[in-house]
A and B are shown apart, each in its own frame.
Chain A
Amino acid sequence: MRPTVVYLVVLASAALAQQPSFNSDVAPILAANCLGCHGKSSAMGGLSLQTFEALMKGGKSRAVIVPGRPEESKLFAMISGKAMPAMPLGGKPLGEADRDTIRRWIEAGAKGPGAGEMAAKLAPAVPEVKPLVSVKPQITSLAWSPDGKWLAQGSYKEVRLVEPDSGKIVATLSGAAQEVRSLAFSADGKLLAAAGGLPARGGEVQIWDVAGRTLVRTIQGHTDCIYSVSFLSDGKRVVTASYDKLLKLWNVESGKEILTFKDHIDSVFALAVTPDDKRLVSAAADRAVKVWDIASGERLYSMSDAQDGLNAVALDPAGRRVAAGGLDKSIRIWTLGEKSATLTNSLIAHEDAILQVTWSPDGQYLVSSSADRTLKVFKAEDLTEVKSLSQPDWVLALKFSPDGRRLAAGRFDGSVTLFKTSELFTGSASDKPLVGRLQSNSDKR
């Protein structure tokens, strides 16, 4: 018996001393830990670990493996927590042994599968399923440039810059992980933040240079996708809200996280920032609206009046009143104070969940959209209904132009309509689009 054991021990140490093989040692580690986000069609940060070749090609910025130099290889730096964000994003760090295997494999030259050896198949077994019908992706987000010249439309894996008057698409900014769930221009109109990510895996914010139509930076963080993004007025920081229950403040320049706002106990779907950059307001599936101090990340107070999860939150132009809506079909308005807020108004406004709420730039009106397929206009001071417009589908995105003259509505069916606000705020009962539907890319399909 004893000789066998000794023999096995010798064998084992021999194996340890050997160079790790890509197929049998490295690939399984990558498959188990990384492919959820860096797989075939979900290559976050542009990095796919689908095949050896894709791994060596690296991500959007550069190669992630420098053969022979583990310390200079971004992949190794990130899995060992030496470069941010640490990988796997939001997940359990790799074990010591796995990290060591990868380190030794890179050290030994990061060799691929040997001659005559098939490359290991790394992708998680996600079958190929093609749409059998033509798909017109939903409009998940909208944003007006501060000068009102562009209307940015967020859709599946792309942002379209549209000239609102003509409806002409002047640029398509593509490359987002999946749905672009939130869009925001910087105050100077130079940058456009497009937020989204992969559900249940991670969030990303793409920062685009509007004039050059180029991707400046991709901020990655959160462990689930991002549902709301906003620039602070300095244009140097963005704040994000994610399904992972957190809000985060980021440095746009470095892409690094500054702060995490942690207090919600369910997915955060909406956020708003006061004009003085001091406060952050968030609404979540946990039924709470929370007010935060942006400088310290401290939660100042919560408003827990809603009876069910919240989808939308909006600040009035002065940053003093907050409106929120969600699954309980109600719009509530609070007036913000130093230590608490006062519920000033509430109304069961729709027959189904409220999807969006927005203030008119003059602070006089509130507009809401709902799963009951209506858009409704209310007087902000007492929530009396001014108008109800039936809609062909759910309005997922709802934004006033900066001059307040137009209201853009983007829908689940991929359509976008511009409404003339002058006609929205009068009592005349027309259900027709007041300006007209915009052409969009996918209409051509």
Chain B
Amino acid sequence: MRKLFLVLCTVGVSYSADLAVLPNGVVLNGPKATHRLLAEGTLGDDQEDLSRSVRWSSSDTRVAMVDAEGLVTPVADGNATITASTNGRAATTSVVVKNFKVPFRWNFRNDVMPVVTKAGCNSGACHGASAGKSGFKLTLRGYDPATDYDVLTRQSLGRRVNLSEPAQSLMLLKPTAAVPHGGGKRIETTSLDYRIVSEWIAEGAVAPRDNDALVVSLAVYPSLATLKPGAEQQLIVEAKYSNGDVRDVTRWVKFSSNDSGVATVDDGGRVKMVGHGEAAITLWYSSLVLYARLGVPYGNHVDPNIYSQFQRHNYIDDLVLTKLKALHIAPSKECDDPTFIRRAYLDATGILPTPEDVEEFLADQTPGRRVKLIDRLLDRDEFVDYWAYKWSDLLLVSGRKLRSTAVWSFYGWIRDSVKADKPWNEFASEIFTSTGNTRQSGPLNYFVLHKDPIDIAENATEAFMGNRITCARCHNHPLEKWTQMQYFAFVNQFSRVGLKNGSEGGDVVVFAKTSGDVNHPRLLRPLPPTPLDGTPMPLDSTDDRRVPFAKWLTSPKNTYFARSLVNRVWANFMGRGLVDPVDDVRATNPASNEELFSALSKDFTDGGYSVKKLIRTIMTSETYQLSSDANGTNQDDNRFYSKYIVKRLPAEVLLDAMSQVSGVPTEFAGYGAGVRAQQLPDVQVKSAFLESFGRPKRIVCDAGERSSAPSIAQALHVINGDTLNRKLSDAGGYPAQALKMGLSDADSLNHLYLSAYARYPNASEKEAMLMALRKARVSVGPIEVQRDAHKQALEDAMWAMLTSKEFLFNY
């Protein structure tokens, strides 16, 4: 595949057509093996599936035959070359046929189960439901072949398989609708599927064996392609087995498209491009998953100069630009300095720049001013507050289950870690390798929040790998590669976390127990503790089982670890994760720019897991500094980062911003004056404002806990809620202070615009606002009345500014 793309790149410029046969080299092992081939033509940047229009031929039809659509079948042991030719162009692939004469029998696990699964018999809506259907229950998508074998061949006195008269087996009569079937006709009697199942029965319905070859990996052809609008592309899926075999399993793969507005896919893996953009076609076979990415450029004509003039600051810009080029999307222009300073402050530190900060920055005209600003921000205490708050969300720090001392201990550890820019791998490791007293050692509170091994296992994968493994508790994960066996071997790593009361009230001591196991629910025995795809630990070892987990979790080999964190940080700045939702980094949820995601994750890993460095790389990129204004080509784009994605300020940031601009801090019961919302260690602190704006409850690890959805309550809070109005009318508030200091309306206006929007008011705004302020003034009556009217007018002006979109949003 790679080679093909090299070819693609080199011929791109000259627009000469090229042809290639995929895959390169095929082995047909045994008399029943077949393999489909693809003929892919490339013209310019585009690729085209020519498999149905080329002429296929075999160099030796005594060894292998090929039909008009590129399906290769074996004839006898030997080697042959298959050629695809069209219009004077030709391409070849080699075929090796072996073991043609070796007696062959269909295998339950590797031949029959794929048919059953592809036909949908064991889907969640049919016999794979936990209660089965009509008394017939299979394991969901065939996760347990041994059980399915008994159910199919033996249960209910051999009801479903008839060895004496194979065709009379209910297992065949039902799916062919020879007898009435609630699920209708699923299999044709003339199909290969029927032949496999019926011959397997005729061969005595041989049981699955422990030494059956297992599928270890999948490959898809093409894995990446740029196609023409309306084009069709056949996908070919190969499975590699533990015995080294590689087989074409396309026929039994379940296909689905993640964006049916871009591409649709039928049951046989034939993709049709129905729109513009990029779609991932997800493949599921035998509990393994993979995807192919197929795209069609938008119909825009983008001036090549736009790309060549794009200011590239680092690799982020290179990789974003490559994607935008491929899709014919033009990036928006760079945002202006006022927009940048406000954006950078909010995204990195959760506060607004003060008018002085803004004026100083706007006055600086040196080329490196943005980078200097970024570096200053990353050193601020508010940066520490903001990210400590974020990771407290992640780790569910809350007084709901923890005592106040414990909350402070946990939060303090997180904050210290952020302040020191503790490498993310060390941060995670400390949680899973510490022992002792929860008051002295903050991370131990993790085990007070999560006491059940299942809870620990699921939370740890969600928090640090962005992986939701819960499905695998009851059956193999349908969207991930994790199996139920792996799940319970994984859970068993956390079965020996001991908790006991400490010396002082409320203290908890966490220690590693030397006994205790979690049983697999069906096998009723514990499995050796194993970090998902890691190395098992002997069941009889008394070492702390969490330690190998921590090693595996933070190993550079565990790419989920880096990807999960990178995605969270990226989404913080860019408005949308490279993978979306931000905490669903599963194998079947492709990134919108995989090359960029990989590069960032690798950079993060290689750079010693420094979160601060990652933030700096993102913020200094040109991509981060693009305007949120769309151009003619990127109106609909919210996936490829051709413009900045506008976002509402998070609850705590918004409240703190209101406090900052009005000059009146918010009081939180039990906390000292001036403590900002983002400095609270605990989400149990009461605040109707924060709750209505979506402060997470920190009960389950789920980015969806923090809501950014608009609500009536929010509108009411902003428009006539106490929070804002009290701040505006407060004696210490800006209107009162401005009057006390005798500031002119023009000065106040400048101050307020800089403070709320990080910019000066423009001429028309100034004129309108000053006019409005003047009109509201009373020029007669006692001085107090005049002053009150003036104050009221200033309050109204501020109210209008702080309820505007420009204030509530980051753009």
- A interface with B by C-beta (< 8 Å): 36, 41-42, 91, 124-133, 135, 137-138, 140, 156-157, 178-179, 181, 199-201, 225, 227, 243, 266-267, 269, 285, 353, 371, 394, 396, 412
Known contacts A179-B158, A227-B157, A267-B156: does B202 contact A131 (CB below 8 Å)?
yes
Known contacts A132-B203, A138-B158: does B189 contact A126 (CB below 8 Å)?
yes
Known contacts A178-B162, A181-B157, A243-B156: does B180 contact A129 (CB below 8 Å)?
no
| B4, CB-defined interface residue at 8 Å | no
- B interface with A by C-beta (< 8 Å): 135, 150, 154-160, 162-168, 170, 172-174, 176, 178-180, 189, 194, 198-199, 201-204
* Residues on the A chain within 8 Å of B202, using CB: 129-133
Known contacts A42-B168, A133-B204, A199-B170: does B178 contact A124 (CB below 8 Å)?
yes
* Residues on the B chain within 8 Å of A266, using CB: 135
Asked if residues A126 and B164 are in contact (CB atoms below 8 Å), the reply is no
* Residues on the A chain within 8 Å of B135, using CB: 243, 266-267, 285
Which of B176, B179, B180, B204 is within 8 Å of A125, CB to CB? B176
Cross-chain pairs A/B with CB under 8 angstroms, 27 sampled: A125-B178, A126-B168, A126-B176, A126-B178, A126-B189, A128-B167, A129-B166, A130-B166, A130-B202, A131-B164, A131-B202, A132-B199, A135-B164, A156-B164, A157-B164, A199-B160, A199-B170, A200-B179, A227-B156, A243-B135, A243-B156, A267-B135, A267-B156, A371-B150, A371-B154, A412-B154, A412-B158
Asked if residues B163 and A135 are in contact (CB atoms below 8 Å), the reply is yes
**A41 CA / B155 CA spacing, docked (Å):** 23
**A128 CA / B167 CA spacing, docked (Å):** 7
**A179 CA / B158 CA spacing, docked (Å):** 9
Known contacts A199-B170, A200-B173: does B189 contact A179 (CB below 8 Å)?
no
**A285 CA / B194 CA spacing, docked (Å):** 29
| Interface secondary structure of A, over-half rule | loop
Which of B150, B166, B189 is within 8 Å of A131, CB to CB? B166
* Residues on the B chain within 8 Å of A137, using CB: 163-164
CB-nearest residue of chain B to A157? B164
**A140 CA / B164 CA spacing, docked (Å):** 14
**A25 CA / B155 CA spacing, docked (Å):** 41
Q: Which of A36, A178, A199 has the most CB of B within 10 A?
A: A199
* Residues on the A chain within 8 Å of B178, using CB: 36, 124-126
**A124 CA / B154 CA spacing, docked (Å):** 26
Asked if residues A41 and B179 are in contact (CB atoms below 8 Å), the reply is no
* Residues on the B chain within 8 Å of A42, using CB: 168
**A124 CA / B201 CA spacing, docked (Å):** 20
CB distance from B522 to the nearest CB of A (A): 11
Known contacts A36-B179, A128-B167, A130-B202: does B173 contact A140 (CB below 8 Å)?
no
CB distance from B45 to the nearest CB of A (A): 49
CB distance from A432 to the nearest CB of B (A): 25
* Residues on the A chain within 8 Å of B159, using CB: 199, 225, 243
CB-nearest residue of chain A to B178? A124
CB-nearest residue of chain A to B201? A129
The 3 closest A-B pairs by CB, nearest first: A129-B166, A129-B167, A133-B204
Asked if residues A131 and B174 are in contact (CB atoms below 8 Å), the reply is no
CB-nearest residue of chain B to A181? B157
CB-nearest residue of chain B to A327? B155
**A41 CA / B162 CA spacing, docked (Å):** 12
Which of B156, B158, B180 is within 8 Å of A36, CB to CB? B180
Asked if residues B157 and A200 are in contact (CB atoms below 8 Å), the reply is no
**A3 CA / B16 CA spacing, docked (Å):** 65
* Residues on the A chain within 8 Å of B150, using CB: 371
Q: Which of A131, A201, A266 has the most CB of B within 10 A?
A: A131
Asked if residues B156 and A269 are in contact (CB atoms below 8 Å), the reply is yes
* Residues on the A chain within 8 Å of B160, using CB: 199
Asked if residues A394 and B154 are in contact (CB atoms below 8 Å), the reply is yes
Q: Which of B165, B168, B174, B198 has the most CB of A within 10 A?
A: B165
Q: Which of B155, B158, B170, B180 has the most CB of A within 10 A?
A: B158
**A384 CA / B288 CA spacing, docked (Å):** 46
* Residues on the A chain within 8 Å of B155, using CB: 353
CB-nearest residue of chain A to B171? A199
**A221 CA / B170 CA spacing, docked (Å):** 19
Asked if residues B204 and A131 are in contact (CB atoms below 8 Å), the reply is yes
CB distance from A375 to the nearest CB of B (A): 17
CB-nearest residue of chain A to B150? A371
* Residues on the A chain within 8 Å of B163, using CB: 131, 135, 137
* Residues on the A chain within 8 Å of B156, using CB: 227, 243, 267, 269
**A241 CA / B179 CA spacing, docked (Å):** 21
CB-nearest residue of chain A to B174? A200
* Residues on the A chain within 8 Å of B165, using CB: 41, 129, 131
**A402 CA / B174 CA spacing, docked (Å):** 41
* Residues on the B chain within 8 Å of A130, using CB: 166, 202
Q: Which of B172, B174, B179 has the most CB of A within 10 A?
A: B179
* Residues on the B chain within 8 Å of A125, using CB: 176, 178, 189
* Residues on the B chain within 8 Å of A157, using CB: 164
* Residues on the A chain within 8 Å of B204, using CB: 131-133, 135
* Residues on the A chain within 8 Å of B179, using CB: 36, 200-201
CB distance from A227 to the nearest CB of B (A): 7
CB distance from B525 to the nearest CB of A (A): 11
CB distance from B198 to the nearest CB of A (A): 5
CB distance from B177 to the nearest CB of A (A): 9
* Residues on the A chain within 8 Å of B172, using CB: 126
**A126 CA / B203 CA spacing, docked (Å):** 18
**A140 CA / B158 CA spacing, docked (Å):** 9
CB-nearest residue of chain B to A267? B135
Apart from A135-B163, A135-B204, 15 more pairs, CB < 8 Å? A36-B180, A126-B176, A129-B167, A129-B198, A131-B164, A131-B165, A131-B202, A133-B203, A135-B164, A178-B168, A181-B157, A200-B174, A200-B179, A285-B135, A353-B155
**A172 CA / B535 CA spacing, docked (Å):** 59
* Residues on the B chain within 8 Å of A227, using CB: 156-157
**A225 CA / B201 CA spacing, docked (Å):** 21
* Residues on the A chain within 8 Å of B176, using CB: 125-126
**A129 CA / B166 CA spacing, docked (Å):** 6
**A396 CA / B204 CA spacing, docked (Å):** 19
CB distance from A207 to the nearest CB of B (A): 21
CB distance from B191 to the nearest CB of A (A): 11
**A227 CA / B135 CA spacing, docked (Å):** 14
**A178 CA / B174 CA spacing, docked (Å):** 17
**A135 CA / B153 CA spacing, docked (Å):** 14
CB distance from A19 to the nearest CB of B (A): 31
**A124 CA / B176 CA spacing, docked (Å):** 10
**A201 CA / B180 CA spacing, docked (Å):** 9
Q: Which of B157, B165, B166, B194 has the most CB of A within 10 A?
A: B157
**A371 CA / B176 CA spacing, docked (Å):** 30
CB distance from A235 to the nearest CB of B (A): 26
* Residues on the A chain within 8 Å of B203, using CB: 132-133
Known contacts A36-B178, A41-B165: does B154 contact A129 (CB below 8 Å)?
no
**A129 CA / B174 CA spacing, docked (Å):** 16
**A131 CA / B167 CA spacing, docked (Å):** 10
* Residues on the B chain within 8 Å of A178, using CB: 162, 168
* Residues on the A chain within 8 Å of B198, using CB: 127, 129
CB distance from A18 to the nearest CB of B (A): 32
* Residues on the B chain within 8 Å of A181, using CB: 157
CB distance from B470 to the nearest CB of A (A): 23
CB distance from B173 to the nearest CB of A (A): 7
**A373 CA / B408 CA spacing, docked (Å):** 59
* Residues on the B chain within 8 Å of A128, using CB: 167
CB distance from B630 to the nearest CB of A (A): 58
**A350 CA / B382 CA spacing, docked (Å):** 64
* Residues on the A chain within 8 Å of B164, using CB: 131, 135, 137, 156-157
**A131 CA / B169 CA spacing, docked (Å):** 12
**A126 CA / B188 CA spacing, docked (Å):** 10
Asked if residues A126 and B158 are in contact (CB atoms below 8 Å), the reply is no
* Residues on the B chain within 8 Å of A201, using CB: 179
CB-nearest residue of chain B to A124? B178
**A225 CA / B173 CA spacing, docked (Å):** 15
